[in-house]
Chain A
């Protein structure tokens, strides 16, 4: 499959009044056609900076950003504006023009592209229909709820028939229920229109719900990138572990004790593996936390357990679980 974006050793250093700050350090990754690609990290990690290099709202200091094999850095102002018709963006704060009606907002990108009035009106209505807000066409944005505003922003973003949609914390200002509805809409658009989507977020739940692949950004570095299910069930980097582990398990009984995380999917959920462990090996574990998650539509369970002190016993337990098909990883 073709790559929509290809980033090679991208670095970004901000310079303000002689002060320098490096927000991105040697980031290389690719976004594939048709996928929903997540970029997750703590606040201040460099996610917004990264996504803004994708449509050159931010110039890179070194490295290259290629959009369908074309290096964005080599485009002149006019070519860049042309390319931006193919790269739409939505924002946390929606950024609609308050003094214009919903319909007029959605028409804007078409107007910029020089589409005649009648045609763009038609198209804008079609887009509002997709996001389920056709009846709000003549209303001003201040009359809409946050979720509705983001739907209008999505309609506006889709109007110019972009090849990719960038979402910078698009659901962070919305409550969980509305977040779910917006994510469902994005997923539907991704599937029906074959639109590639890049989603920036600081919430693992957003990535778990709709992303195919995810990149984890930690302090300007790319900590990890891979399939969401892979990263979820077996995170490699410290930053990834921090994101996928339950945030507040109980303290282990022994402060220096070994704590591991077990992940199982629906296929193993009918096996009573903790009971089996006791029965077959006579060894016990102490459960500190347990929950279930839906990752990419598949149910996953995870458990944080504390192991006994003996190294031999620990190894026996870990191999017992691994033979049973569970993923076992260390909790640092």
Chain B
């Protein structure tokens, strides 16, 4: 491998990190509240509301069932509107975020669903309001499960970030595509793939450890 390619790979690692980090962050900022709303408004929960739950659930399901590659293309005009360009690392963060939001929302919802209903009953009997119950009882109790879900989500975003290379995004995916696919340089392809796998595994491992560490039961 030439020094030029090595440098490109190192650069690619940072770009992949950048995309994954920001896309994950932004997708939680939107997806977490959506997940909480999906949970709280579902049948038998503390803020049961069929209309709200139906609408948000429908949007999330539609967004989640779109293949990410299609979403990438569909979102080009939106991305251009938000960041002023549709190619490059920063531009990739937009579709990655949008693609991850519904996944995060469902993951958060399922973590909250695991919380023992008895705890919610206890909160209610103490005179806690529904919002207080969510913030001080349900979410803290779900933290280990949320962290575990977080690791899975970040790994998914990282995988998606490799796909962003197709529409001119940066990162390891773009390098794999350029050198490995278009120019057929096998060792570049395998190096980037190995790096991507290693990064996913590290994220999973850290997530699982954090989750175990915080789990008090």
Contacts and interface: CB of A to CB of B under 8 A. Distances in A.
Contacts, number: 73
A81 B127 contact: yes
Contacts of A57: 121, 124-125
A112 B132 contact: yes
B116 interface: yes
B214 interface: yes
A88 B126 contact: yes
Contact of B125 (A55, A82, A94, A141): A55
B216 A98 contact: yes
B119 interface: yes
A57 B119 CA distance: 13
A77 B140 CA distance: 24
A87 B125 contact: yes
Nearest to A159: B126
Contacts of B67: none
Label chain A's interface by main secondary structure. mixed
Given A91-B121, A93-B118, A84 B126 contact: yes
Interface of B is mostly: helix
Interface residues on B, range: 20 to 34
Nearest to A105: B122
Nearest to A77: B129
Interface in B93-152: 116, 118-119, 121-129, 132, 136-137, 140-141, 143-144
B217 interface: yes
Interface of A: 55, 57, 77, 80-85, 87-89, 91, 93-100, 108-109, 111-113, 140-142, 160, 166
B141 A99 contact: yes
B118 A91 contact: yes
Among B118, B124, B127, B129, the one with the most A-chain Cβ atoms within 10 Å of its Cβ is: B127
A95 B215 CA distance: 17
Given A140-B216, A142-B216, A142-B217, A95 B116 contact: yes
B125 A81 contact: no
Contacts of A140: 216-217
A99 B216 CA distance: 6
A55 B132 CA distance: 18
Contacts of A85: 126-127
Given A81-B129, A85-B127, A112-B128, A91 B122 contact: yes
A113 B127 contact: yes
For the complex of A and B, 5 pairs with smallest distance between CB atoms = A84-B127, A98-B217, A95-B122, A95-B118, A140-B216
Given A88-B125, A96-B122, A112-B126, 8 more contacts: A57-B124, A81-B129, A83-B127, A94-B118, A95-B119, A97-B140, A99-B140, A108-B123
Contacts of A96: 119, 122
A111 B121 CA distance: 17
A89 to B, nearest CB: 4
